[in-house]
Structure 1
Amino acid sequence: MRCYWDEEDTWFYFEVDAEGWVIRQIELEGPDLTPIAAASLEEWQQAHDAGRLNEYDSRFGITAELPVSEWEGHDPQQLTAERFEEVWKTARGQIAARSS
């Protein structure tokens, strides 16, 4: 799904599991849809276990800490898995290019 936060001019894209927890999250900011985050919960946990959490957070960001059922004030738009993957691949590529 995706949601728009007009106060920050940011699109949030979410992949969630069956219980509503965010598995992957993308944040695109401004009119150019600049990727500012493309975080994976699994990667975040691996970085945490390896003691590299600060490095991961500063490069890719974090995922939402609450399941979507507890969110207030959002108006989600459904996405196909294919569309999420397209946006994910583009965002991760742009973030990786900036980090090189």
Structure 2
Amino acid sequence: MDGRFYRRRWEESRGDEFDTWGHSVWYFEVDDDGWPVRQIEVYDAGSVLRYGPGHEEDQYGGLGEASLDDPEEDWSPFAITRAAFERVWDSAGG
């Protein structure tokens, strides 16, 4: 499996006790069926969350539980390269 990689900015805040973190950019590696395998959330205030094998969730959130292969939403405009994803993954705590 080669995986697919995406980067998407969200202009909404979390709406929870960590709302002050602000808006965020999310990075995903997904499998052949569109399910997140690894995920990074980078918030405007500086917080970075990282989820993947062996660390699927914590007190702040967790790995996405929905396929990005949704016929209602086209993720192709958000596609990035593996190298771009790996740079962020490594800088987020390798």
Match of 1:70 in 2: 70
User: Residues 58 and 92 of structure 1: is their aligned pair in 2 closer, same or farther, counting only changes over 3 Å?
Assistant: farther
User: Residues 92 and 71 of structure 1: is their aligned pair in 2 closer, same or farther, counting only changes over 3 Å?
Assistant: farther
Give the gaps of 5 or more residues in structure 1.
46-55, 94-100
Match of 1:16 in 2: 30
**In structure 2, C-alpha distance between the alignment counterparts of 1:13 and 1:66, rounded to whole Å:** 14
Task: Write 1 or 2 for the structure with the bigger share of strand.
Answer: 2
Match of 1:7 in 2: 12
Identity of aligned residues (%): 33
- Conserved 8 A contact 1:24-1:63: yes
**In structure 1, C-alpha distance between the alignment counterparts of 2:72 and 2:26, rounded to whole Å:** 14
Question: What's the TM-score, normalizing by structure 2?
Answer: 0.69
**In structure 2, C-alpha distance between the alignment counterparts of 1:74 and 1:85, rounded to whole Å:** 23
CA RMSD across the alignment: 2.5
- Tell me how far 1:91 sits from its aligned partner: 1.0
Are 1:36 and 2:48 matched, yes or no? yes
Give 1:6's aligned amino acid.
E
